[in-house]
Amino acid sequence: MANIISRPDWYITEREVTSEFAYRNRRKFLKQMGFAGGALATLSGGLSAAGKVRSLYPAKRAAAFNPGWPLTDETVATTYNNFYEFTTQKTMVHRLVDDFEISPWKVKVHGLCAKPTTFDFDDLCRKIGLEERVYRFRCVEAWAMTVPWTGFPMHKLLKLVEPKAEAKFVKFVTAMIPEQMPGIARQPRYPWPYTEGLTMAEAMHDLAFVATGIFGKPMPKQNGAPIRTVIPWKYGYKSIKSIVEIEFTKSQPETLWETLSPEEYPFESNVEPKVPHPRWSQATHRIVDTGERERTLLYNGYEKQVGHLYKK
């Protein structure tokens, strides 16, 4: 798509994705720009202090989601972020989130359901309870990480409001607070707020996760505090941060990225190594902390669990 405004900063050519030179330079840049201060942000400003629920951390790691994969370095995972409401520069997000207020926090769940409810975030965590799951996470930009997420399966939240049979999709909406989110004004043509969606079958799948924490602590603001989704078999942009609204709909909801560039960021967006992005290959990815290159697996390695959802 030629429209420069609709082009996210994920714009990288195939050469850049694979080039050793570009990779080395990026490592150097990250070192200079962000990671030196990363540990500090992780320990102080970047960490949300959702006071009342702090005692729920660390949650017990669910054995079935503890495959023994090497975890990504915590400082890297919390200082190399995509959160366009703050900035398009990944290593700068954690430095711009201090003014973002995340407590108290409400999530409105409504639409085609019998019991629409606005939940207080702290009450919700205590009501459902928290567990930890280690998931692989693959960004459309061809980088990947493996992190322990704390939270609960999405179906536990959705079932609380009793979705109706007519509900075919679930729409998710991020908070839109321009005074606290400096990136919104810098991208005036983006169709804010950030929205995402899943089919009902995807949302009810046990792997679809609502995350409230990472690495055994409450979610840092830059990673989507206080509550976000993690859909490990889809590209990372489907995992929407800082959610304020969830709606059951009959028709497929519009999403921010699909609205901007449907050929590049379609609604389904499963990780599919044989389907290249129009501007780069998706066959491999870079492990974000070690820089190693790895083969990308169908549905990000979760084919056994979710493959049946997409059998034609």
Q: Which helix (H) or strand (E) holds 247?
A: strand 243-249
Helices (H), the chain: 14-18, 20-30, 36-43, 74-77, 121-128, 154-160, 182-186, 200-204, 256-260, 303-306
Site for ligand MTE in 128-157 (CB under 6 A): 139
Size of the site for ligand MTE (CB under 6 A): 16
Q: From the CB of 192, what's the least distance to ligand MTE, in Å?
A: 9
Regarding 237 and contact with ligand MTE (CB under 6 A), the answer is: yes
Amino acid (1-letter code) at residue 194: Y
β partners of residue 159: none
d(CA 13, CA 176): 31
CB nearer to ligand MTE: pick between 109 and 139: 139
**Token pair 């980088």 is at which residue?**
143
CB nearer to ligand MTE: pick between 163 and 195: 195
Binding ligand MTE (rule: CB under 6 A), the pick from 72, 91, 180, 223 is 223
- Rounded to the nearest 5 degrees, what angle is found at the Cα of 255, between the Cα atoms of 109 and 173? 30
Regarding 81 and contact with ligand MTE (CB under 6 A), the answer is: yes
Binding ligand MTE (rule: CB under 6 A), the pick from 218, 232, 236, 253 is 236
Short-list 154, 155, 150, CA closest to 59: 150
Regarding 241 and contact with ligand MTE (CB under 6 A), the answer is: yes
Regarding 83 and contact with ligand MTE (CB under 6 A), the answer is: yes
Binding ligand MTE (rule: CB under 6 A), the pick from 198, 227, 240, 271 is 240
Residues that bind ligand MTE (CB under 6 A): 81-85, 139, 174, 194, 223-224, 236-237, 239-242
